[in-house]
Structure 1
C-alpha cells in the first residue's frame, strides 16, 4: 500500500536506505548488513530512528557541518518489498533517484570487500529488484560483500543466518568502512 504523504520543499538532501528485514530475529543476519551500516551512521551523527508513517524507521542529520542533510531509512517491511517504501520516501522528502544510496549485502563479492556502484541491475537481489521496478536503477549502491554460501547450502538460508564467529570479529571495522563510503558519496 502506497501512502500519500505531504511533501516538504525540494532540497539537496540524500536518502540512504539500508536494506534488511524487520524485527530482532533478523537484526544480525547477513541480509541485514545494510541496516547495520545505517546504525553506524546514526551513531556518528548522534540521531535515533523514529517511525515514519509506518513505512520506515528514519533518522535525519548531517554527517559533517555544512554537509547536505541525510535521511537514513530502514523499511519496516520485508526486504523483498523495499520498492514502495523507497518510492514514498523519495516523494515525501523530494529526493531524486540520483541522490538515493542503497546499502545492501552482495553475494557476488567476497566477505569484507565493500564496493560503490552507480546504477545497474539487481544481480538476483530481490530487494534491489523491487526498488528498480518501483523507482529506477539509477541510484547509488554500497555493496557489502558477504560471499557465497559454503558447499551446497541454499542461498536463502545463508543470507538469513547471522555472520560466523570469524566474520563477527571483523564486522565492526567493516561496518565503519561501509559508513565511510556513504560519507564519501554524500560529501
Structure 2
C-alpha cells in the first residue's frame, strides 16, 4: 500500500504539503490508473505492478488526521506495517531531495504523528524535501502555499525521482532501494597542500 499524505480540496492541490498526493498521482499516471473509490476516509485505487497488487491511497481526512484513514485501511487489507510506503513532505531536506528510511521519529510532522497514534509506526518512509521557510515566513504559510516558478523544476524533478524510487523498491526491495536511491554523501576532497600522511592522520 502506497500512501501519499496531503490535504483534499482544490485550494491545496499545488501546496508543498500535498507532495505525497502528487507522487501518488505520478504513480497512477505511470501505471495507467484512472479508477478511484472512496473507502475509509480515503481515495483508493488498485494497480497491477509486475503481477503484484498495489494499493494507492490518498487520505481525505486532512493532513493532521491522516492516520484515521491509513490505520483502518492497513488492517482492512491485512497488511504488515513494512508493506506500507508513506510519501510526505519534509522541511529538513533541500527542495526535491529524496530520503528513504525504514523507521524513525515523526520529525514534528503532524501527518506522521497521526499515523503513529493510529497503530502504524514501522512503515517505509519516502520523505521529499520542500526546504525551510524564509526567515520572515510562517511555517504554516510555507507548507500550504505553492513553490515560486523558479523552484518548480527542481521540485517537480524530485516528485518524478520519488516515483521512480518507489517503483524500484517494489522490484528490488527496500534495502537495495535505499542504497540505490538515497543521496550519497560527498567524499571530502583533500586540499592540494595536504600530504598523504596528513590525510591518513585525519582518518585514524
TM range (shorter): 0.7 to 0.9
Asked if 1:125 corresponds to 2:125, the answer is no
Between structures 1 and 2, the one with greater helix share: 2
Match of 2:46 in 1: 60
For structure 2, the 5+ residue unaligned runs are: 172-204
Q: TM-score, normalised by structure 1?
A: 0.87
- Aligned pair count reads 171
1:32 maps onto 2:23 in alignment: no
Partner deviation per Cα, 1:53-82 (whole Å, 9 max, x = no partner) = 35111111123x33x211010011101001
Matched, 1:149 2:133: yes
Aligned partner of 1:162 among 146, 156, 160? 146
User: In structure 1, the residue corresponding to 2:64 is in which secondary structure?
Assistant: helix
1:54/1:76 contact within 8 Å kept: no
Whole-angstrom CA distance in 2 between matches of 1:174 and 1:124? 22
Secondary structure of 1:143 counterpart:
strand
Q: Which residue of 1 aligns with 2:192?
A: none
Q: Tell which structure's C-alpha radius of gyration is larger.
A: 2
1:103 aligned partner: 87
Runs of 4+, deviation exceeding 3 Å: none
Q: For structure 1, which runs of at least 5 residues remain unmatched after alignment?
A: 1-14
SS at match of 2:10: coil
In the alignment, what sits opposite 1:22? 8
Question: How far apart, in 2, do the equivalents of 1:59 and 1:151 lie?
Answer: 40
CA RMSD of aligned residues (A): 1.3
The separation in 2 between residues aligned to 1:177 and 1:162, in whole angstroms, is 19
Q: Which of 1 and 2 has higher RCO (CA within 8 Å, sep 6+)?
A: 1
